[in-house]
Amino acid sequence: MRLNPKRTVAELKELRALTADENGAQRVAWTDTWLKAREWFARKVKALAVEQHFDAAGNSWVTLPGASEKSLLIGGHLDSVPNGGWLDGALDELAGLEVLRRIASEFQGRPPVTIRLVDWADEEGARFGRSLLGSSAFAGTHSIEADRGRTDRDGVKLEDALRRCGVEIDKFPDAQKEQKNSAAYLELHIEQGPVLERIGLPLGVVLGTKGVERHIITFHGQEAHSGSTPMNARRDALAAAAKLALEIRTIAKKHEDAVCTMGSVKTFPGIVTAVVGRCEAALDQRDLDAGVLAQMYREAQEASHRFAAEENCTVSWSRLWNIEPVPFHPRLVELCEEAVRETSGSSHRMPSGPLHDAAEVSRAGIPTVMMFVQSLKGISHNKIEDTKEEHLEMSVVALDRLTSKTMELIQNQF
Ligand SMILES: [Zn+2]
């Protein structure tokens, strides 16, 4: 049986018909629709001579044992956000299935290295606000206590929603057993951004996932009457924040792939008849290079103090969240570039702004790389998310090539 990328596209449509409504994909993790998607996937897998089981965190593992126990992992996620797209996560998983079929057939069921296809549980974190749940359990970077008490919009506890699907949160650490013999991890994903479309390339190589610094910056001034307070006597906290909102763009633009966003600004008292006495701004900064990220953070801090002084205000910072950049494996990045070039002529190296399960696998010390396929208009997490079918087919071919190259690498070196 030869690789059949058209079958992947047909199966993606089949899954869409099964799990989407007029608002988009509804495969939210730990819901009945998600379970239905997983059952559908299990039926596809049954046609192959492979072993399938769920680990302690609800990740699904399909294993095709090879001559060597060293394993090549291919991953994706069948869960979606509510009203999501048809490709996010599902493309990775179904392309992986097609590659698995090709390898099982070519090597009469026994490839030189073991091939494992994983469907990560709850990548999106859409219901409980905790992304990368299954893959972080696998990686051992997960904190049970931090997540146990999370609730969804209806007050259902995360712990109880998982139990309904046969998963006990206290057993999560057992999922780390699946790391055994893992030699490499590959993940194909839609880009979810506009870069590849802008440069006119179907496929790109992902260098890693960007680190994130996320802070609340509070400017303190003085509430005052907007009629009686002369302009030169004001201590306007919003004026200082507004200067910073523009400055972070200058700070980010010094670096090719860096991004800085002030996504939220709250003013107090927040009425039209008062000068703003207090302003809370939320800042998100990202880059693949830890040094660049640290520099941008420092520069934003310095600028905030400068603007606070100019407006006769004071400023304080509090960190909401941060994560280190996760660079992917240099040799696998090279192989991925080869695979992309052989498939579509030329390649582009790029960091990923969004986090992916691949970042957790890489944090577990397993050599990892990701491949991106172009997203039309860069839109994702939306029912209009789309990619040209010819590009989807190319991405299956490129993933297949990358898999062959990685199998060879595992045999010879890892
Ligand atoms: Zn995804």
**DSSP letter string over 159-195?**
HHHHHHTT--GGGGGGGGGGGTTEEEEEEEEE--SSH
Burial degree of 70 (CB within 10 A; 0-12, 13-18, 19+): middle
Amino acid at 119: D
Amino acid at 151: T
Ligand 1 mean position, distance from CA 91 (Å): 9
- Identify the pLDDT of residue 309: 98
Query: Quick check: bond before 269 cis, omega within 30?
Result: yes
Ligand 1 mean position, distance from CA 25 (Å): 13
* Cα–Cα distance list, 410 to 68, 71, 179, 205 (Å): 10, 8, 15, 20
Ligand 1 mean position, distance from CA 374 (Å): 14
Ligand 1 mean position, distance from CA 47 (Å): 26
Ligand 1 mean position, distance from CA 229 (Å): 52
Q: How far apart are CA 372 and CA 350, in angstroms?
A: 9
Specify the DSSP class assigned to residue 322. E
Burial degree of 295 (CB within 10 A; 0-12, 13-18, 19+): middle
Ligand 1 mean position, distance from CA 352 (Å): 12
Ligand 1 mean position, distance from CA 79 (Å): 8
Ligand 1 mean position, distance from CA 412 (Å): 31
Ligand 1 mean position, distance from CA 31 (Å): 17
Q: How far apart are CA 226 and CA 272, in angstroms?
A: 8
Burial degree of 276 (CB within 10 A; 0-12, 13-18, 19+): buried
Ligand 1 mean position, distance from CA 77 (Å): 7
Regions of the chain with pLDDT less than 50: none
- Other beta carbons within 10 Å of 228: 7
Amino acid at 296: M
Ligand 1 mean position, distance from CA 230 (Å): 52
Ligand 1 mean position, distance from CA 122 (Å): 10
Longest dimension (CA), the chain: 85
Ligand 1 mean position, distance from CA 189 (Å): 7
- Identify the pLDDT of residue 413: 82
Ligand 1 mean position, distance from CA 186 (Å): 14
Q: Which residues, in sequence order, are CB contacts of 264 under 8 Å at separation 6+?
A: 280, 281, 282
- Identify the pLDDT of residue 36: 98
* Cα–Cα distance list, 335 to 165, 340, 361 (Å): 38, 9, 18
Ligand 1 mean position, distance from CA 162 (Å): 20
Q: Which residues, in sequence order, are CB contacts of 298 under 8 Å at separation 6+?
A: none
Ligand 1 mean position, distance from CA 88 (Å): 5
Write down how long the chain is. 414
- Identify the pLDDT of residue 1: 78
Ligand 1 mean position, distance from CA 57 (Å): 18
Ligand 1 mean position, distance from CA 354 (Å): 9
Helix axes 90-106, 5-19, angle to 10 degrees: 140
Ligand 1 mean position, distance from CA 84 (Å): 10
Ligand 1 mean position, distance from CA 211 (Å): 17
Q: What is the pTM of this model?
A: 0.91
Ligand 1 mean position, distance from CA 369 (Å): 15
Ligand 1 mean position, distance from CA 74 (Å): 14
Ligand 1 mean position, distance from CA 87 (Å): 8
Helix (H, G, I), strand (E, B) or coil at 143: coil
Ligand 1 mean position, distance from CA 169 (Å): 23
Report yes or no: 342 and 404 within 8 Å, Cβ to Cβ.
no
Q: How far apart are CA 276 and CA 395, in angstroms?
A: 52
Ligand 1 mean position, distance from CA 123 (Å): 7
Report yes or no: 277 and 221 within 8 Å, Cβ to Cβ.
yes
